[in-house]
Structure 1
Amino acid sequence: MAYINFKEEKAKGKFQLDERKKNNEILYKSILKHKDSLTGFYPNLKYSFKKIIDENIGKKGVLGEEDFQEITNEDIICTKFIDCTFKNIKFKDCRFIGCVFDSCKFDEGGVSFENCIFIKEDSEKLPSLNRKDNLGCSFYNCNIYAKFLNSDISYAIFENSKLQNTSIELTNASNCIITNCEFEKVEVVDSDFRGFKIFSTYMVNFSFEDKFLTKFDEKTFFDKIEPRVKDKQEYEGIYTVYESIADKFKDNTLTSNFGEYYYLGKCIERKSLKLLPKLGSYLDWIICGYGERPFFCIFSALGIIIIFSFLYLITGIDTDGRTILYTFSNMYTWNISKFIKDFNEALNLSVGMFAGVGIDNGKPTEIGYLVANLEMLIGIVLMGVGVGTLVRKVIR
């Protein structure tokens, strides 16, 4: 059985997202109400506690990062950026607390966030010992071309947004929730993805370029990717994404999760293959689910036993001094009760041949021995594959 219940994870994620939105809204209103008593922050007077609508922030043109406008050591608190365009701008050592980016564009040369914080952990309410607000920022309906370097975007929400040519490097992205988004060339380097969840998001170009290790845990979740174009190039892109995710779970010694995304990747890869490799892939899938579905071996074995039972009826079975043989020439003598009895003999013989033990009551005819030898070989191989698959899963 699957180790990841995708339907259940999506339901839990939706509940978690709703609860986070409610929590953020309560904390947002509380900070606005008590902004004069807020400690430890120095609000930027131009942007904090305001709605900024349809404003261009940054330099015009397509510039290199060295020519970006730089904003340093600013606290931007409880700001709602609506229909704003950020371009050719670098935020360095800044804090974004409770900010909402709605229908914004991070455009042209892009936006760089270096050593920035997008979360307020400490609680303002007393007693505050061991209490955390975890007030993150939210991005709704945004087009994001950005670089997050050595930043903290934990507990952030990305919804109905497109991330393109975006880099997440040495960044804490733990407990982020991404839903109904689109990834177009997103690269992750040595970041923290513990508790990271992504739902209903289209990804064909998403990769990990670690020098050390991006951290995953049991709560890290990536939803299935639904193909759109359904051509060879798209299938190969989705397979590569699944492969990257699976390898990263394996690097984090989460081998059960690795197996699930490996299986999804192989299922998608199969659709991109040419005829002969595709037939081989189908065979691998049917027999053992690419080594990740032990119960497939049982279904395959039952199917083979039934198929060979019919073959024995056609080639003949010698039993109790009579020969059971079904051909078109004697089909007028067939009847249901006789067929059930004869099929039972054929089934018994097929089970014995598949297991390599045979039976006492019946044996194949001379022609049928070829069929029996073939079934015996298939049975030996399939039982070996089944045991190997099961042992692999048990060890995990």
Structure 2
Amino acid sequence: MAYINFKEEISVAKTQFEKRINNNKRIFENLLDSKDVYTEYIPNERYSFKEHKDLVIGGGHPKKEDEFQEIKDADIICAKFIKCRFSNIKFTNCRFVGCYFEECEFMGGGVVFQDCIFVKKDSDEKPNLNKNDNFSCEFNHCNIYAKFINCTLEYIIFNKSNLKNTNFELSDMSNGMIFDSNLDMIIISDTDLSGVKIVNTYIEDLEFRDKYKSKLDEKTFIDKIKVKKKTRDEYEGIYTVYENIADKFKDNNLTNNFGEYYYLCRKTQRKVLKPIPKIGSTFGLLTCGYGERPVYAVYFSLIVIFLFSILYLFLGIKVDEEIITYSSNISKAFNIRQLLKDYNESLNLSVGMFAGVGLNEAQPSPRSYMLSNIEMLIGVLMMGVGIGALVKKIVR
């Protein structure tokens, strides 16, 4: 009874990703040929409409943020930065229109983007009423150590990139996409993540430090994290990431999404628990999926009923004053017709004991009394667990 179909969400996200890549490429080529942009843009002569290879912007030994070189009020349009290095540089109030960052290194003391815009939403086509290009920037195969403060990052693309020690603060990242990347030590503060898609991305550390609230919506999708090292530290890191994501969905009143990531959190956490807590966690997983999979209660109950029905045959059941047991005479099992008849009585007894509705013709033998009591207790417990989990989901 999952609310997030991960396979379907991934398929939809990949389709959107391909369309956005093609849309950016088409607009980039048209704009590069015409160089016709709105009069509100003043293309920076040094960087706009050019391809830059192995360029060093900033550079030098790592510095403190207040010592960074600053580029201010620049419109950088249709620029390609290939294998460039950015270090100790601060972009303030800059507009990046359709820029590609390919195999770039954001290194040294890092890079700060403050009050910057990375998307051109309006369309140059005529008529353009109610039409948006959503022409965004792309970071492909980059290593990024940066801070984005009060930036407009709508429709941004991070593809096959490593983002480490990177912060997103007071920014609009709605409809952004992060594909096939690695996220490590990422801090998000009061940022709009509506419609964000994070697919096939390894997340080591993701933390929300909100003063107000980061926004997520029903279209926000974060893929499952694939385990690589299978170490205790890795499992602890992954379940903490799931926990942070779940809490943030809950803060946005998206309880169904919360439930999915809470389930993934508890399931991953179980791998690092000590033996006794792990037994309790495993029981919670198998019986109801930590309250998020009510159908598990049905599966578990059926398994218990069929298991006990087999045990009754070996410990003995009483039918018409006759004790039937297969433990002392296993050759009886080769008489299929008689076996099916006896199993029918055993199954009938098991269902009655589990549901607590009493007996029909078959009764437990003296050797089976303890077994029937145990099954009855499990049945009572499972009814409470199953109904509780189901009501919880229905209320949501």
TM range (shorter): over 0.9
How high is the TM-score relative to the length of structure 1?
0.97
Equivalent residues of 1:317, 1:365 under 8 A apart? yes
Aligned residue in 2 for 1:211: 211
**Structure 2 equivalent of residue 296 of structure 1:** 296
Residue 155 of structure 1 aligns with an amino acid whose one-letter code is Y
Mapping 1:309-348, distance limit 5 Å: 309-328=309-328, 330-334=329-333, 335-348=335-348
Say how many residue pairs are matched: 395
Shift of 1:366: 2.7
Structure 1 equivalent of residue 131 of structure 2? 131
Identity in percent: 51
Aligned counterpart, 1:365: 365
The AA in structure 1 aligned to 2:203 is M
Q: Indicate the SS of the match to 2:145.
A: strand
Matched, 1:48 2:23: no
Which string of whole-angstrom CA distances, capped at 9 and with x for unpartnered residues, describes residues 150-174 of structure 1?
0011101110100000000101000
1:325/1:206 CA distance change after superposition, 3 Å? same
Amino acid in the other structure paired with 2:90: K
Matched residue type, 1:219: K
> Conserved in 1, the CA contact under 8 Å of 2:91 and 2:116?
yes
Q: Tell me the alpha carbon deviations over residues 312-347 of structure 1, each in whole angstroms, 9 at most, x when there is no partner.
A: 22332222121212223x334442222211111111
Distance in 2 (alpha carbons) for counterparts of 1:148 and 1:53? 24
Corresponding position of 2:192: 192
Q: Which residue of 2 aligns with 1:379?
A: 379
Query: 1:183·1:206 contact (CA, 8 Å) conserved in 2?
Result: yes
Separation in 1 of the partners of 2:267 and 2:130?
A: 46
- CA–CA distance in structure 1, aligned partners of residues 331 and 350 of structure 2: 26
Offset at residue 6 of structure 1 (A): 1.1
Contact 2:3 2:260 in 1 (8 A): yes
Q: Give the stretch that moved more between structures: 206-215 or 274-283.
A: 274-283
Identify which range, 331-340 or 38-47, moves more after superposition. Answer: 331-340
Give the AA of the match of 1:379: G
1:271-321 Cα distance to aligned partner (Å, 9 max, x none): 122222222221111111111111111111011111211222233222212
> Shift of the alpha carbon at 1:30?
2.0
- Distance in 1 between residues matched to 2:365 and 2:186, nearest whole Å: 64
**Residue equivalent to 2:57:** 57
Query: Which residue matches 1:168?
Result: 168
**Residue 59 of structure 2 contacts residue 85 of structure 2 at CA under 8 Å; is this kept in 1?**
no
- Between stretches 73-82 and 364-373, larger displacement belongs to 364-373
Give secondary structure in 1 for the equivalent of 2:108: strand
Question: Which one is further off, 356-365 or 310-319?
Answer: 310-319
Give the TM-score normalised by structure 2.
Answer: 0.97
Residue by residue over 1:9-30, the C-alpha shift from the partner in whole angstroms, topping out at 9 and shown as x without a partner, is: 1111111111111111111122
Distance in 2, matches of 1:336 and 1:237, equals 54
SS of the residue 1:271 aligns to? helix
Q: What CA RMSD, in Å, does the superposition of the two structures yield over aligned residues?
A: 1.2
> Is 1:110 aligned to residue 134 of structure 2?
no
State the distance in 2 between where 1:366 and 1:357 align.
Answer: 20
CA distance in 1, matches of 2:381, 2:307: 17
Partner of 1:39: 39
Runs of 4+ in 1 over 4 A off after TM superposition: none
Counterpart AA for 1:365: S
Contact 1:59 1:69 in 2 (8 A): no
CA distance in 2 between counterparts of 1:6 and 1:362 reads: 47
What is the CA-CA distance between 1:105 and the residue it aligns to? 0.5
Unaligned runs of 5+ in 1: none
Structure 2 CA distance for aligned equivalents of residues 20 and 98 of structure 1? 12
Amino acid at match of 2:238: I
Residue of structure 2 equivalent to 1:222: 222
**Matching residue of 2:29:** 29
AA paired with 1:268?
A: T
Contact 2:293 2:389 in 1 (8 A): yes
Matching residue of 1:354: 354
Alpha-carbon distance in structure 1 between the residues aligned to 2:140 and 2:314: 66
Query: Is contact 1:114–1:149 with CA below 8 Å preserved after alignment?
Result: yes
Residues 96, 118 of structure 1: 8 Å contact kept: yes
